[in-house]
Amino acid sequence: MQNKKIKLTFLTAHLSELTELDQELIAKAKEAFTTAYAPYSGFLVGASVLLDNGEIVSGSNQENVAYPSGLCAERVAMFYAGARFPDAKIKSIAVSVISKNFEVTDVVSPCGACRQVMAEYEEKQEQAIKVILHSPTDEVLIANTVEDLLPFMFKSPLLKKH
């Protein structure tokens, strides 16, 4: 038996320390959470995606009374980007949250399903995606690759037919 370690790298910062472009991406994510449909959880999430063609695409979480039928903001934004701009690569994604029911003071990390979708886009485009997680207190966590959020991501070339 061997004991192994995984090293993850991420940055923490205050919103004011980020580049203008990253601040704009977060502003778009905050704007997007105002369109969230979250009557059950009251948890509003917005995501914005920066594409290599300069476009910024946003999405918000959309709940449904049949809970598994809803969709997270990150996937809404990424799937829309993929459908609208199929040849563009995703450079970064910003996620921001707020709750109607309780105070959020920390960054909130994407769920496993969203991480897996991000990982697949990263693999598909053969280029890292920067993930920027923003809290209502303007604290930010930045991962320069999805792999730092999902080190054992599911990716198997055996599933693809050649």
Going along the chain from its start, the domains and CATH numbers come out as: 11-159 (3.40.140.10)
- Tens of pLDDT along the chain (162 residues) come to 999 988 889 999 999 999 999 999 999 999 999 999 999 999 999 999 999 999 999 999 999 999 889 999 999 999 999 999 999 999 999 999 999 999 999 999 999 999 999 999 999 999 999 999 999 999 999 999 999 999 888 877 767 765
The pLDDT value recorded for residue 161 is: 66
CA gap 120, 108 in Å, rounded: 21
Whole-angstrom Cα Rg for the chain: 16
Q: Could you tell me the pTM of the whole model?
A: 0.93
Inter-helix orientation angle 73-84/112-125, to 10°: 30
Exposed (0-12), middle (13-18) or buried (19+): which is 78, by Cβ within 10 Å? buried
The pLDDT value recorded for residue 162 is: 57
CA gap 122, 2 in Å, rounded: 30
> What positions carry a catalytic annotation?
74
The pLDDT value recorded for residue 154 is: 81
The pLDDT value recorded for residue 116 is: 94
The pLDDT value recorded for residue 153 is: 81
